[in-house]
Amino acid sequence: MPGSAPPGVRGVRGAPTRGRREENGCSCRKGEVDAARTSPLGVARGVVGMSQQYSPRSFLRQVPNELLARYFHGRGLLLDVDFGRLGETEVEPIYLAWEALPEDERARVESDFQETHALACESGVKVILECGRASGEDLEPLLSGLEGFHHKAFWAFLERPEVFEAASRFCHVDSLYARYWRKRRGVPRVEPRVDAASLGEFEAAVSAYYRQKEGRGHSCRAEVYDRGDRKYFFVYPEDYATTVIEYRAGQFARRALRPAFELIFVYSREEGSLDVYAEGPKGTVQDLQRIFARTVLGVELGPELKAEKVYELNGFKDRNFQFVYEPADGIEGIRVKKLRLSVLGGQKRITLEADPDKNPHAVYDLMDEALRTDNIPLSIVNVTQVTLRFYFAPGGKRGRNTLTFDITYPNSCPLKYEGRHLVARRVLVASGIDRG
């Protein structure tokens, strides 16, 4: 029910239902911005794909025995295992005891372990810290003394389940394929209605829409999470029935399922924007925007204006373009990796790409040569797409310290609203690139 959990952490209406995450990059986000493709959600929790492949033995080795004992004994499981007498990597007795559990209990344990594994990476722990701050608690002093990402993630699973739940949600959002996100600007800046009655109206409207349009969506559930100044609405309409082939109690069988598919609405009152994640044509997304506006915001949306120019890219014709950022941003440098040029008065398009790691002006050397060869003056050239690579200071942490992403004229950019992505967004605004 609304108000039953700390603000900014737990969904207004119960626990989430999740599906697969992609098997590329970090288990909750790829290293680059071209986010991982994810499949529509089913009804079962913990069905997760991993970059560093999940395996029970590996997981058990990376979580301290003391936490494993609390987890299993707290659920009345593996009571005959003396965790205190086992070495920290002596996992075979634990694994064999887990294997001997009844099928349903073994599956529930594995689901919990896979959810924890999905957050056991640098970006996953960062989101746990972010959700802790949103709930009013700085978890940094507690997590900094724990060794390894699995230790930190499993501690949060046990000690701060509502924070863990929110972090799982947001890591899932951060991994979604950018192609299915659509932003609408100029949305009225009003306080969204998240009481039970308003959410019930929203659920009923989404359900009715999909029943009428596609013959699915007979049931629907909506949940709300806060993240900074944005409210995230996770909506799960019922999908078409499907059949899975599985083993139940060791028997090979088929079972009918009615899974859910996923819609996500991200509303920023401060920005006056609404982002919608939905697999489907543009018209469907526009209909969903109107449903959200009527039921959650209590307003009518007028016709969507033709996309206005948001990103000004012609500054990148100058190899000495100056980026604006602060020392606190932790940026060591920013370089152009790719340029796509269009030529006025014709159909010609030129795409140039080079590795900027060794030569920061490599792509500009290519541009000068291409324009000189075709006798094209720079004055009749427009930049329609640029790929930027941000280089961040290591900060004593292992892993990738670059962020690479495309900006496409007039208004396409896949940056998200967390971590280094948010830093990059600020740089684009300060540097006069983002003029929205």
Domain chopping of the chain, boundaries: 1-175, 178-297, 314-430
Is residue 227 predicted with pLDDT exceeding 80?
yes
For the cut 90, the answer to whether the pLDDT of residue 248 exceeds it is no
* Nearest-angstrom CA–CA distance, 150 and 71: 14
CB-hemisphere CA count at 13 Å for 220? 24
pLDDT tens for 275-289 read: 999 998 888 999 999
Q: What is the pLDDT of residue 13?
A: 39
**End-to-end CA, the chain:** 37
Residues 6+ apart with CB under 8 A from 385: 313, 338, 339, 340, 406, 407, 408, 409
> What's the CA angle centered on 379, arms 377 and 384, to 5 degrees?
105
Whether the CB-CB separation of 377 and 397 falls below 8 Å is answered with no
Local confidence band at 166 (pLDDT 50, 70, 90 cut-offs): very high
pLDDT higher than threshold 60 for residue 270: yes
Q: Looking at the whole model, is its pTM more than 0.85? A: no
Which pLDDT tens digit goes with each residue over 84-104?
Answer: 999 998 999 999 999 999 988
Q: How many residues in the chain?
A: 436
Between these two residues, 418 and 346, which has the higher pLDDT value? 418
Per-residue model confidence (pLDDT) at position 309: 65
Mean pLDDT check: name the lowest of 50-64, 92-106, 149-163, 236-250: 50-64
Instruction: Give yes or no for residue 4 having a pLDDT over 60.
Output: no
Q: Is the pLDDT of residue 42 over 50?
A: no
User: Is residue 322 packed enough to be buried (19+ CB in 10 Å), middle (13-18) or exposed (0-12)?
Assistant: exposed
Burial status of residue 345 (CB atoms within 10 A of its CB: 0-12, 13-18, 19 or more): exposed
Q: State the SS3 of the chain.
A: CCCCCCCCCCCCCCCCCCCCCCCCCCCCCCCCCCCCCCCCCCCCCCCCCCCCCCCHHHHHHHCCHHHHHHHHHHCCCCCCCCHHHCCCCCCHHHHHHHHCCCHHHHHHHHHHHHHHHHHCCHHHHHHHHHHHHHCCCCCHHHHCCCCCHHHHHHHHHHHCHHHHHHHHHHHHHHCCCHHHEEEEECCCCCCCCCCHHHHHHHHHHHHHHHHHHHCCCCCEEEEEEEECCEEEEEEEEECCCEEEEEEECCEEEEEEECCECCEEEEEECCCCEEEEECCCCHHHHHHHHHHHHHHHHCCCCCCCCCCCCCECCHHHHCCCCCCCCCHHHCEEEEEEEEEEEEECCCCCEEEEECCCCCCCCHHHHHHHHHHHHCCCCHHHEEEEEEEEEEEECCCCCCCCCEEEEEEECCCECCCCCCHHHHHHHHHHHHCCCECC
Cα angle for residues 415, 202, 214 (degrees, 5° grid):
85
Alpha-carbon separation of residue 120 from 57, 114, 153, 399, 425 (angstroms): 15, 10, 6, 13, 26
Query: Which tens digits make up the pLDDT trace of 382-434?
Result: 999 999 999 999 864 545 689 999 999 988 888 888 789 989 999 999 999 99
> Contact 434/412 with Cβ under 8 angstroms?
no
At residue 326's C-alpha, the angle toward residues 324 and 332, to 5°, is 85
- For the chain, the average pLDDT equals 85
How is residue 213 written in tokens? 């349009």
398 phi, psi to nearest 5 deg:
-80, 165
Q: Which pLDDT does position 302 carry in this prediction?
A: 81
Kindly tell me if the per-residue pLDDT of 188 is higher than 80.
Answer: yes
Rounded Cα–Cα distance for residues 434 and 405 (Å)? 14
The reported pLDDT for the residue numbered 397 is: 52
* pLDDT tier, 44 (very low <50, low <70, confident <90, very high otherwise): very low
Q: Which residues contact 18 (CB under 8 A, 6 or more apart)?
A: 41, 45, 46, 47, 48, 115, 168, 169, 172
- Mind listing the pLDDT tens digit for each residue in 143-155? 999 989 999 999 9
pLDDT over 80 (residue 5):
no
What span, in angstroms and rounded, lies between the C-alpha atoms of 81 and 83? 6
